[in-house]
Amino acid sequence: MSLTVAARIARRELRGGLRGFRVFLACLALGVAAIAAVGSVRQSIETGLQQEGATLLGGDAEIQLTYRFASDEERTWIDDNASAVSEIVDFRSMAVVTRDGETERGLTQVKGVDAAYPLLGEVRLDPAMPLAQALNGTQDLPGAAMDPVLVARLGIAVGDRFRLGTQDFVLTAALIREPDDAGGGFGLGPRTLVRTEALQSSGLLAPGTLFASAYRMTVAAGTDMARLETQATGALGGSGLRWRDSRNGAPGVGEFVDRLGAFLVLVGLAGLVVGGVGVAAAVRSYLSEKTGVIATLKTLGATTHTIFLAYALQIAALTGIGIVLGLVLGALAPLALAPVIEARLPLPAVFGIHPAPLAEAALYGVLAAALFTLWPLARTEQVRAAALFRGAATSRLLLPRWPYLLALALLLAALVGAAAWLSGLARLTLWSAAGMTAAFVILIVVAAGLRRLSRRLARSRAVRGRSALRMALGSVGGPGSEAGSVVLSLGLGLTVLAAIGQIDANLRGAIARDLPKVAPSYFVVDIQTDQLDPLLTGLRADQQVSRVETAPMLRGVISRINGRPAAEVAGEHWVLQGDRGITYSAAPPNGTQVTAGQWWDEDYSGPPQVSFAAEEAAEMGLQLGDRITINVLGRDIEAAITSLRNVDFSTAGIGFILSMNPAALAGAPHSHIATIYAQPEAEARLLSQIGNAYPNITMIRVRDAIARIGEVLRGIAAATTYGALATLVTGFIVLIGAAAAGERARTYEAAVLKTLGATRRAILLNFALRSAIFGLAAGVVAIAAGGLAGWGVMTFVMETEFSFEPVSALAVVTGGALTTLAAGLGFAWRPLSARPARVLRARE
| 757 near other proteins (CB under 8 A) | yes
Cβ at position 457, least distance to other proteins in Å? 13
DSSP letter, residue 618: H
484 near 447, Cβ under 8 Å?
yes
Q: Which of 407, 418, 709, 840 is the binder for other proteins (CB under 8 A)?
A: 840
Q: Which is nearer to ligand ATP, 456 or 838 (CB)?
A: 838
Whether the link from the prior residue into 806 is cis, omega within 30° of 0, is: no
Number of H helices, E strands in the chain: 25, 21
| 749 near other proteins (CB under 8 A) | yes
**Burial class of residue 561, CB neighbours in 10 A (0-12, 13-18, 19+):** buried
Q: Is 243 helix (H, G, I), strand (E, B) or coil?
A: strand
**Burial class of residue 486, CB neighbours in 10 A (0-12, 13-18, 19+):** buried
Size of the site for ligand ATP (CB under 6 A): 2
Residues 105-124 that bind other proteins (CB under 8 A): none
Cβ at position 740, least distance to other proteins in Å? 18
H helices of 239-303, where?
251-289, 291-299
56 near 249, Cβ under 8 Å?
yes
Cβ at position 831, least distance to ligand ATP in Å? 17
**Burial class of residue 299, CB neighbours in 10 A (0-12, 13-18, 19+):** exposed
Site string for other proteins, 642-681 (x = CB under 8 A): ----------------------------------------
Which residue number has the CB closest to ligand ATP? 841
**Among other proteins, ligand ATP, none, partner that 424 touches (CB below 5 to 8 angstroms by kind):** none
Site string for ligand ATP, 115-154 (x = CB under 6 A): ----------------------------------------
216 near 88, Cβ under 8 Å?
yes
Cβ at position 465, least distance to other proteins in Å? 6
613 near 645, Cβ under 8 Å?
yes
347 near 47, Cβ under 8 Å?
no
Cβ at position 843, least distance to ligand ATP in Å? 12
Q: Which is nearer to other proteins, 11 or 835 (CB)?
A: 835
Size of the site for other proteins (CB under 8 A): 36
Could you tell me which of 482, 487, 423 has the C-alpha nearest to residue 270? 423
Site string for ligand ATP, 814-843 (x = CB under 6 A): ------------------------x--x--
Q: In sequence order, what E strands does 512-621 have? A: 522-527, 545-561, 564-565, 580-584, 593-597, 609-613
**Among ligand ATP, other proteins, none, partner that 479 touches (CB below 5 to 8 angstroms by kind):** other proteins
Task: Name the one range near other proteins by CB under 8 A: 53-61, 99-107, 125-133, 759-767.
Answer: 759-767
Cβ at position 381, least distance to other proteins in Å? 21
Query: CA 114, CA 196: separation in Å to the nearest integer?
Result: 6
818 φ/ψ angles, rounded to the nearest 5 degrees? -65, -40
Site string for other proteins, 455-484 (x = CB under 8 A): ---x-----xx-x--xx--xx--xxxx---
**Among other proteins, ligand ATP, none, partner that 672 touches (CB below 5 to 8 angstroms by kind):** none
**Among ligand ATP, other proteins, none, partner that 417 touches (CB below 5 to 8 angstroms by kind):** none
Could you tell me which of 547, 584, 586, 582 has the C-alpha nearest to residue 675? 547
Cβ at position 741, least distance to ligand ATP in Å? 24
Q: Which of 406, 434, 712, 752 is the binder for other proteins (CB under 8 A)?
A: 752
598 φ/ψ angles, rounded to the nearest 5 degrees? -140, 140
Q: Which residues are at the interface with other proteins (CB under 8 A)? A: 390-392, 458, 464-465, 467, 470-471, 474-475, 478-481, 745, 749, 752-762, 835-838, 840-841, 843-844
Q: Which residues are at the interface with ligand ATP (CB under 6 A)? A: 838, 841
